[in-house]
Amino acid sequence: MTRLVEQFEAGLEAPICLTWELTYACNLACVHCLSSSGRRDPRELSTAECKSVIDELQRMQVFYANIGGGEPTVRPDFWELVDYATTHQVGIKFSTNGSRITPDVAASLAAADYVDVQISLDGATADVNDRVRGAGSYATATRAMERLAAAGFRGFKVSVVVTRENAGQLDELKAIADRYDAQLRLTRLRPSGRGADVWDELHPTAAQQRQVYDWLLAHGEQVLTGDSFFHLSAYGQSLPGLNLCGAGRVVCLIDPVGDVYACPFAIHEQFLAGNVREPGGFGRVWRESELFLELRQPQSAGACGSCGSYDSCRGGCMAAKFFRGLPLAGPDPECVLGHGEHALAARGHANVPKPSVDHSRRPLRGTPLPMHGG
Amino acid sequence: MGCAASTRAHVLDLDAAWRLHPQVALRPESFGALAYHFGNRRLSFLKSRKLVAVVEGLDEHGSLRTALESASVTREEEAAYVSALERLASGGMIVPVR
């Protein structure tokens, strides 16, 4: 029998973790938004185009899709698309800030098979959450969780981006998820989208990274992490979850206009593999795009080649490196051995790439982060 | 190996009939297949084509033992295949025929 990690690195017939962002429109303006969402893109896929993508996912046996945005529920055809997917053997897990989870919606979600919900929450307390996600967003998320729990929805997800502000709240965040009979999901803050603007202030400190690692060693089996934290395995032990970069191999992103990127954190022309509107559709992009075929080849370790931890951390996250202006073959900016900090200090500021896609609502972009001192 | 196999057999009765859960779909992959359970949303990996053959053949056989035999699983391989089947059983991917 084959080692699964090697099979994953060589790519699968279809993704197992497909993120599909249905719209760039969003009623919030989170400071770390990975997709720089805010305004709807006029080229957004139509209902019919979305349905034909779903047909193709069914043919490819992509068993479920992670729907996001923007705020996906603001699309007028959102529930129609969810119904269409689930009746075509494509299960849906959608991420939401909770603003549209009315008691009626909660009841119909609780009754639906093959639909899972993920409520975004970036702090165990309103002050921590709202500094990142905006005033009132903690109350909105809490109300949605209460409604889902009251409707009898078991095991929905509470999705947290780990930051410097909430890294010390992991126990409290897990307690919140437990209170609603939900499951905690933790992901890594990447300098993607508007995250690039706040990464310096918000990414966990080295000491916090160690705490997150220890916490995941103790609780990792009960929380979801996807492929977020494999860079931490250079501390010693592998963590539960996917210990490799899945980009273009087992993971990819379809964005609201049908562009296919290697991963949700890599919305930039350098990681654009194709578009679902092209002949051959999504399947052809997945199977044949030059970018994805190249990602499925053995990758160069670059400056990490002489490091004894490379087999554990695999050099870390491609998107994190790219959006910090670091070479893809080399250390992650948050390398736990400190090699990333040295690389950042050495690279200067000239090479940091600008985002090539930005749907932020104009007056908000560039607004200073309302953070307290220190 | 023989000993391990016979110990394992107490956990999973090789003489019982099993089948793929009706809500499970298999997607062929170069290494074997990916199994997805639409009910409990679990994903499992069938890490060899022979294991795929065993699982796909369950319906046609009155026992796990004959399903293993007809997929040409050897005595030496049996323990590994039985433990793979146990993992599938614990995830609800395969279920006993009642």
pLDDT recorded at residue A370 = 52
Residue A244 banded pLDDT, cuts 50, 70, 90: confident
Contact flag B48-A63 (C-beta cutoff 8 Å): no
List strands edge to edge, sheet with A17-21.
Answer: A183-188, A157-162, A115-120, A91-96, A64-68, A17-21, A251-254, A259-261, A272-275
Which chain B residues are closer than 8 Å to A113 by Cβ? 38-39
Is the pLDDT at A40 greater than 60? The verdict is yes
Residue A226 banded pLDDT, cuts 50, 70, 90: confident
Any B CB within 8 A of A5 CB: no
What is the arithmetic mean of pLDDT over A155-177?
98
Q: pLDDT above 90 covers what percent of chain A?
A: 87
Asked whether A205 and A168 are in contact (CB, 8 A), the reply is no
| Rg (chain B; Cα; Å) | 12
Contact flag A91-B38 (C-beta cutoff 8 Å): yes
| Per-position b or e across B41-51, b if 16+ CB within 10 A of its CB | eeebbbbbebb
Alpha-carbon gap, residue A71 to A191, rounded angstroms? 20
For the record, the structure tokens of A84 come out as 């269409």
What pTM value is reported for the model?
0.92
Alpha-carbon gap, residue A242 to A247, rounded angstroms? 12
DSSP code of A365? T
Is the pLDDT at A218 greater than 60? The verdict is yes
Which has more pLDDT, A353 or A149?
A149
Alpha-carbon gap, residue A104 to A72, rounded angstroms? 18
Give the per-residue SS3 of A97-108.
CCCCCCHHHHHH
ipTM value greater than 0.90: no
**Strand (E) or helix (H) holding A343:** helix A339-347
For A251, A335, A373, the CA distances from A60, given in Å and listed in that order, are 14, 36, 51
Q: How far does the CA of residue A2 sit from the closest CA of chain B (Å)?
A: 6
Residue A369 banded pLDDT, cuts 50, 70, 90: low
Nearest chain A residue (CA) to B80: A1
For the record, the structure tokens of A283 come out as 């399947």
What is the arithmetic mean of pLDDT over A105-113?
96
Alpha-carbon gap, residue A126 to A113, rounded angstroms? 32
Is the pLDDT at A243 greater than 50? The verdict is yes
Q: Name the least confident of A287-291, A323-327, B25-29, B36-40.
A: B36-40
Alpha-carbon gap, residue A134 to A361, rounded angstroms? 14
Torsion A340-A346-A351-A357 (CA) sign? positive
What is the arithmetic mean of pLDDT over A19-32?
98
Asked whether A67 and A20 are in contact (CB, 8 A), the reply is yes
Asked whether A104 and A110 are in contact (CB, 8 A), the reply is no
Which chain B residues are closer than 8 Å to A16 by Cβ? 34, 43
What is the crossing angle of helices A170-179 and A206-219, to 10°?
40
Is the pLDDT at A205 greater than 70? The verdict is yes
Residue B2 banded pLDDT, cuts 50, 70, 90: very low
Which has more pLDDT, A121 or B40?
A121
Alpha-carbon gap, residue A225 to A51, rounded angstroms? 29
Which residue has 């209460």 as its token pair?
Answer: A146
Residue A241 banded pLDDT, cuts 50, 70, 90: confident
pLDDT recorded at residue A347 = 86
Contacts of B15 (CB under 8 A, 6+ apart): B63, B64, B65
Residue B1 banded pLDDT, cuts 50, 70, 90: very low
Which residue has 């945005």 as its token pair?
Answer: A69
Which chain A residues are closer than 8 Å to B55 by Cβ? none
- The DSSP-derived string for B1-26 is -HHHHHHHHHHS-TTS-EEE-TTEEE
Alpha-carbon gap, residue A120 to A144, rounded angstroms? 10
**Taking Cα atoms as reference points, which of A27, A11, A29, A50 lies closest to residue A194?**
A29
Alpha-carbon gap, residue A45 to A53, rounded angstroms? 10
Is the pLDDT at B9 greater than 50? The verdict is no
pLDDT recorded at residue A106 = 98
Q: How far does the CA of residue B81 sit from the closest CA of chain A (Å)?
A: 10
**Taking Cα atoms as reference points, which of B76, B87, B94 lies closest to residue B4?**
B76
Mean pLDDT of chain A: 94
Residue of A63, A183, A250 for testing the chain B interface, max B β-carbons within 10 Å? A63
Any B CB within 8 A of A86 CB: no
Contacts 24+ apart (CB under 8 A), A139-143: A140/A97, A140/A98, A140/A99, A141/A97, A141/A98, A143/A98, A143/A101
Is the pLDDT at A242 greater than 90? The verdict is no
Asked whether B31 and A5 are in contact (CB, 8 A), the reply is no
**Taking Cα atoms as reference points, which of A149, A188, A148 lies closest to residue A166?**
A188
Residues of chain B numbered 25-64 and touching chain A (CB < 8 Å): 25, 27-32, 34, 36, 38-39, 41, 43, 45, 47-48, 51
Pairing of strands A272-275, A259-261: antiparallel
Q: pLDDT above 70 covers what percent of chain A?
A: 96
